[in-house]
Amino acid sequence: MSWLEVVVVASGVALVAARWLPRRVRRPVGSGASVLVVLSGVVLVGTALRWQMVPVLVGAGLVVPFAVAGEVRARRGRAPRRSRWWVALPASVGCLCLIAVGPVGAWALPVPVFPEPSGEFAVGTSVVQWTDAARSEGATPEESDRRTVVVQVWYPARKSPADARGAVYLGRTDREAGIVADGLADYLGVPGFLLDGLTRARTHAVVDAPVADGGGRFPVVLFSPGLGGVRTQNSAWAQELASHGYVVAALDHPYDSAAVVLADGRTVRTKVAATGDADRDEELAARWTAVRAADLSFVLGQLERVARGEIPGPVGGRMDTGRVAATGHSLGGAAALLAARQDDRFDAVIDLDGFPHGPAPTRFPQPVLALTQDVRTDIDPDYLPRLTRVLSLSGATSYRLSVPGAAHLTFTDAPLHLPPVESLVGARGRTEGPRVTSAASLAFLNATLRDAPEGLAAALRAYGDLTVHRAGAHR
Q: What is the pLDDT of residue 21?
A: 84
Shared-domain flag, residues 356 and 455:
yes
Express each pLDDT in 148-161 by its tens digit. Answer: 999 999 999 999 99
Tell me if 166 sits within 8 A of 202, measured CB to CB.
Answer: yes
> Does the pLDDT value for residue 388 go beyond 90?
yes
The predicted pLDDT at position 320 comes to 97
Report DSSP letters for 123-155, one per residue.
EEEEEEEEEEEEEE-TTSS-TT-EEEEEEEEEE
Structural domain including 298 reads 122-469
Instruction: Write down the pLDDT at residue 254.
Output: 95
Q: Is the pLDDT of residue 24 over 70?
A: yes
- The per-residue pLDDT for range 398-407, each reduced to its tens digit, is 999 999 999 9
Q: In sequence order, what DSSP letters do the residues of 159-204 get, joined into one string?
A: PPPTTPPPPBSSSSSHHHHHHHHHHHHHHHTS-GGGGHHHHH-B-S
Mean pLDDT across the chain? 91
The mean per-residue pLDDT over the stretch 390-395 comes to 94
pLDDT in tens, 251-310: 999 999 999 999 999 999 998 877 888 888 889 999 999 999 999 999 999 999 999 999
pLDDT tens readout for residues 214-259: 879 999 999 999 999 999 999 999 999 999 999 999 999 999 999 9
Cα-based distances in Å from 392 to 400, 470, 475: 11, 8, 8
pLDDT (0 to 100) of residue 232: 97
pTM of the model: 0.92
Burial class (CB in 10 A: 0-12, 13-18, 19+), 85: exposed
Whether 160 and 55 map to the same domain: the answer is no
Q: Could you tell me if 227 and 372 lie in one domain?
A: yes
Q: How far apart are CA 445 and CA 462, in angstroms?
A: 16
Per-residue pLDDT of 58-111, as tens digits, reads: 999 898 888 777 766 667 666 566 667 677 789 999 999 999 999 999 999 999
Segment (H or E) for 398: strand 398-402
Regarding whether 18 and 133 lie in a shared domain, the answer is no
* Residue 360 confidence (pLDDT): 82
pLDDT for position 46: 87
* Residues 85/89/90/96 CA torsion (nearest 10 deg): 160
* Residue 475: pLDDT over 60: no
The rounded distance, in Å, linking the Cα atoms of 214 and 332 is 32
**In this structure, are 44 and 152 located in the same domain?**
no
Provide the sign of the torsion angle of the four alpha carbons 426, 429, 430, 434, taken in this order: negative
Tell me, yes or no, whether 299 and 349 share the same domain.
Answer: yes
Task: Verify that 68 and 139 share a domain, yes or no.
Answer: no
If residue 260 lies in a helix (H) or strand (E), which one and from where to where?
Answer: strand 259-261
Decide if 117 is inside a domain: no
Kindly state whether residues 377 and 400 are assigned to the same domain. yes
- With contact defined as beta carbons under 8 Å apart, do 463 and 378 qualify? no
**How many domains does the chain contain in total?**
2
Same domain, 146 and 182: yes
Q: Is residue 312 a contact partner of residue 371, using CB atoms and an 8 Å limit?
A: no
C-alpha triplet 342, 347, 351: angle, nearest 5°: 75
Distance CA 475, CA 469 (A): 11
Domain assignment present for 115: no
Q: Are residues 86 and 202 in the same domain?
A: no
- Judged against a pLDDT cut of 70, whether residue 49 lies above it is answered with yes
Cβ pair 408, 353 in contact under 8 A: yes
Crossing angle for the helix pair 3-18 and 23-46, nearest 10 degrees? 150
Cα distance between the two ends of the chain: 56
Q: What is the CATH number of the domain that holds 315?
A: 3.40.50.1820
Q: Are residues 294 and 194 in the same domain?
A: yes
Q: Is 459 helix (H, G, I), strand (E, B) or coil?
A: helix
97 and 190 inside one domain: no
